[in-house]
Amino acid sequence: MLLRKNRVIRRRVIIGLLLAASLTLLTLSFRESSGGAAGAVQRSVLSITGPATDVVHRVTQPVVDAWNWSTGLVNARDENAKLKKQLGQASNNAVLVQEQQQEIKNLQSLLNYTHTTDARSYDWVTAAVTANSPSDYRRTIVINVGSNDGVAVNDPVIGPYDQGGALVGRVISVTGGNAIVRLIVDPENAVTAADLSGTAKGSVVPSPGDPGMLNMLMVSASEVIHRNDIVVTAGYAGPLQPVLPRGIPIGKVSNTGISDGDTDQTIQITPFVDFEDLSDVLVLKVQPS
Amino acid sequence: MIDTIKVAVAVFVLAVFQVSATPQITPSTTGPDLVVILVISLALLRGPVWGASAGFVGGIMLDSLDAQSLGLTSLLYVLVAIWASERAPKVEVAGVERPATPTLGRHLVIVIVGAVFVQLGLAVVQSLIGDGYGLSIAFWRVVLPCSIETAAFALPLVPLMRWLFPTTTRIDVPTAATA
């Protein structure tokens, strides 16, 4: 009887301690900056799990590519048996070639970006995306470069698109070999931006009603902005926003709107980068590491 | 001791896979919650302390890899482990109430309901603290796809968990206390 009572008490104490520890960590993570105890725990866990995510990413990437490739074949079911057989024999090679071509295209886009006037004055390092945020509450990625490669917090991260490179996000946490990047479509993100002429300035934030799209706020109603105008980083710091170098492309204007009596207009922006298919990125080393 | 090592390895492997592999092969932008399958399975097969401990560690790993508010996922996993352990069939051995192996169907249903609880909990807490998206967007973009994908992954993982972590006292085996 006594033994049973002791076990029940011990069980309740352990569960109570786990609940209290969870609440304490949650409180600490809200009260402290990333340099506090909660941030230290996160960095320690990341430094342990980061290499493992890198390994799992490398091991599973061919399977993922094969999976994606296979799902793309759903519409080709009516092909005859001979073609299917040939396709099957060629599929292994095709997956490898397709993967390498995409990687070359991405890296070429990023390399082109490093030759632009705005990027030429900075050192840079390329990185592979090893983990994605598993939910939409946080839009973050983990990349396989860190402070050992000269990467520092607030460094901008560039991703490839057809015309070169465009802003993906900024580094928010770094360990020796890994870094966490907050994407520009993360709900907590904001970037000071301007049109190419530099006259229409505002703050680019994620669209609350349309995940994946961006809104440019605080643009004066007197500024003239057209659809398909390109929006780039403004090169100055906003309230609670770190400085990013001027001229990094963000996206193009897809819609503009202003209500009667408003002094500001709201501009909807389609980002250049496809965040769902991000595998190679480039980190501009703008912060002193 | 061996069980502790098995649980630690399972938490690590599932958390790493949840972040680095499964989001890429699932059709939605969110991925399945693999850790909750382990947490609920342990709570059902071994009791709330095992489930809550695995949930606490797994939650910290996921929050760290996701730059999430540290402790939020742990808190929800610990709560769902307590809830799941209450749903487990019990058998009394030598005056002590121990978990007994639930049927596979019951096990799957509890895992899926628990996964929905965790996702709804995350959506509500994120909404209350003014983070993330509105509840309706969170439901359609995160809670629903994540729950469906978790259910799909639970089909092979639950039998694996039952094989890896068998209940130490089975309800269908007579013991000194029940015979």
Distance, CA of A160 to CA of A105 (rounded, Å): 8
Contact A134 B62 (CB under 8 A): yes
Using a CB–CB cutoff of 8 Å, tell me whether B9 touches chain A: no
**CATH number of the domain encompassing residue B27:** 1.10.1760
Distance, CA of A109 to CA of A120 (rounded, Å): 15
pLDDT value for B171: 47
- What's chain A's average pLDDT? 81
CB nearest A18 (choices: B53, B65, B133)? B53
Contact B122 A64 (CB under 8 A): no
List chain A residues with CB under 8 Å of B63. 42
Local structure of A28: helix, strand or coil? helix
B23, part of any domain: yes
Residue A219 — left, alpha, or beta (φ > 0 → left; ψ -120 to 50 → alpha)? Answer: beta
CB nearest A211 (choices: B71, B137, B146)? B137
Consecutive H or E run containing B106:
helix B104-128
CB nearest B61 (choices: A27, A45, A276)? A45
Contact B24 A60 (CB under 8 A): yes
B122, part of any domain: yes
Distance, CA of A184 to CA of A2 (rounded, Å): 59
Residues in chain B: 179
Mutate to test the interface with B, among A12, A47, A137 (most CBs of B within 10 A): A137
For residue B42 the two structure tokens come to 């342990």
Whether the pLDDT of residue B115 is over 50: the answer is yes
Q: Between A209 and B60, whose confidence is greater?
A: B60
Q: Between A40 and B106, whose confidence is greater?
A: B106
Closest by alpha carbon to A57, among A144, A180, A133, A135? A144
Contact A134 B66 (CB under 8 A): yes
B6, part of any domain: yes
Tell which CATH classification among 3.20.190.10, 3.40.50.10260, 2.40.10.340, 2.40.33.10 matches the domain A119-285.
Answer: 2.40.10.340
User: How many domains, in total, are found in chain B?
Assistant: 1
For residue A8 the two structure tokens come to 């029940």
Contact A180 B20 (CB under 8 A): no
B175, part of any domain: no
Distance, CA of B39 to CA of B49 (rounded, Å): 10
Q: Are A178 and A166 in contact (CB under 8 A)?
A: no
For residue A279 the two structure tokens come to 């595998």
Torsion of CA B41, B46, B47, B53, to 10 degrees: -70
Domain limits, chain A: 2-64, 119-285
Residues B130-136: contacts with CB under 8 Å, at least 24 apart: B131/A137, B131/A187, B131/A188, B131/B69, B132/A136, B132/A137, B132/A138, B132/A187, B133/A136, B133/A137, B133/A187, B133/A208, B133/A211, B134/A208, B134/A209
CB nearest A136 (choices: B47, B82, B142)? B142
Calculate Rg over the CA atoms of chain B. 17
pLDDT value for A77: 58
Q: Compute the nearest-CA separation of B158 from chain A (Å).
A: 21
Using a CB–CB cutoff of 8 Å, tell me whether B16 touches chain A: yes
Residue-wise pLDDT tens digits, A172-220: 889 888 999 999 888 888 888 888 877 788 888 888 777 788 988 888 8
pLDDT value for A288: 67
Residue-wise pLDDT tens digits, B77-101: 999 999 998 888 877 776 666 667 8
Residue-wise pLDDT tens digits, A60-102: 777 777 777 776 666 555 566 677 777 777 777 777 788 788 7
Average pLDDT over residues A4-29: 85
Calculate Rg over the CA atoms of chain A. 23
B79 CB contacts (<8 Å, ≥6 apart)? A19, B121
B156, part of any domain: yes
Using a CB–CB cutoff of 8 Å, tell me whether B17 touches chain A: yes
A82 CB contacts (<8 Å, ≥6 apart)? none
Distance, CA of B102 to CA of B87 (rounded, Å): 9
CB nearest A29 (choices: B59, B70, B133)? B70
Distance, CA of B117 to CA of A205 (rounded, Å): 30
Instruction: Mark which residues 18-47 of B lie under 8 Å from A by CB.
Output: 18-25, 29-31, 33, 47
Average pLDDT over residues A271-276: 86
Confidence of residue B178 (pLDDT cuts 50, 70, 90): very low
Structural domain of B56? 2-87+100-164
Q: Are A193 and A233 in contact (CB under 8 A)?
A: yes
List chain A residues with CB under 8 Å of B142. 135-137
Whether the pLDDT of residue A130 is over 80: the answer is yes
Distance, CA of A59 to CA of A57 (rounded, Å): 6
Q: Is the pTM higher than 0.90?
A: no
Q: Compute the nearest-CA separation of A199 from chain B (Å).
A: 31
List chain B residues with CB under 8 Å of A27. 71
